[in-house]
Amino acid sequence: MRRVTSITLISLFLIFSGRINAQELKFGHANIQEIMRAMPEFKEMQETMEAEYDKLENQLATMQEEYQKMEQDYLQNAETLGALERQQKEQQLMETSRKIQTFYQSSQENLSQKQQQLRQPIMEKLRDAIDEIGEEGGFIYIFAENSGATVYQSDQSIDVTEQVKNKLGIN
């Protein structure tokens, strides 16, 4: 009899504690893109990236102009050049073309690395603010609203976008 009473009491405790915990679960969501666009660090990153892109684009344009001049010079004088000289000019054109392609590819890689490098501290700061909001508000989860991962959002989910912005000192 004692065993049955103990089992019953434990069962009731688990059932009621489960109901209490289920009622206390808090879920939130935040519009990460909106928050990032409002962060001054993100705006600085964009300006830095645009300046870097412009610089590389100008270098590439200069290289392409030089190549076009070399090509025009070759085409205008090809008939008057000897076979060896023509072959050297053609080889020089191919090497210049390869250099331009290599420069373009390395520029793309460098831009990507630079963006990742600049974005990492911004994401860490954002993540820290969301973590603080989560801990302060007693949230179980805070989902990224526009990440594509949320398939259902209840009215009970709390939008913490403004709280995160306030934590970051932006609005």
CATH number of the CATH domain containing 157:
3.30.910
- The pLDDT of residue 4 is above 70: no
Is residue 6, in this structure, part of any structural domain at all?
no
Q: What is the mean pLDDT of residues 86-99?
A: 95
Is residue 13, in this structure, part of any structural domain at all?
no
Among the listed residues 170, 55, 52, 48, the one whose alpha carbon sits nearest the alpha carbon of residue 119? 48
Going by pLDDT thresholds of 50, 70 and 90, the confidence category of residue 69 is very high
The pLDDT tens digits of the residues spanning 36-47 come to: 999 999 999 999
Determine the Cα–Cα distance for residues 46 and 156; give it in Å rounded to an integer.
35
Q: How many domains does the chain have?
A: 1
Going by pLDDT thresholds of 50, 70 and 90, the confidence category of residue 23 is low
Q: Which range (55-69, 125-139, 157-171) has the least confidence? A: 157-171
Contact indicator for 109, 44 with CB cutoff of 8 Å? no
Is residue 129, in this structure, part of any structural domain at all?
yes
Domain limits for position 76:
25-168
pTM score, whole prediction = 0.69
Is residue 73, in this structure, part of any structural domain at all?
yes
Burial of 129 (0-12, 13-18, 19+ CB in 10 A): buried
Residue, of 160 and 15, whose pLDDT is higher: 160
Is residue 1, in this structure, part of any structural domain at all?
no
What pLDDT is attached to residue 126? 93
Is residue 122, in this structure, part of any structural domain at all?
yes
Is residue 113, in this structure, part of any structural domain at all?
yes
User: DSSP string of 49-92?
Assistant: HHHHHHHHHHHHHHHHHHHHHHHHHHHHHGGGS-HHHHHHHHHH
Is residue 121, in this structure, part of any structural domain at all?
yes
Q: Which residue has the tokens 């526009």?
A: 146
What pLDDT is attached to residue 152? 52
Determine the Cα–Cα distance for residues 89 and 27; give it in Å rounded to an integer.
68
What pLDDT is attached to residue 146? 78
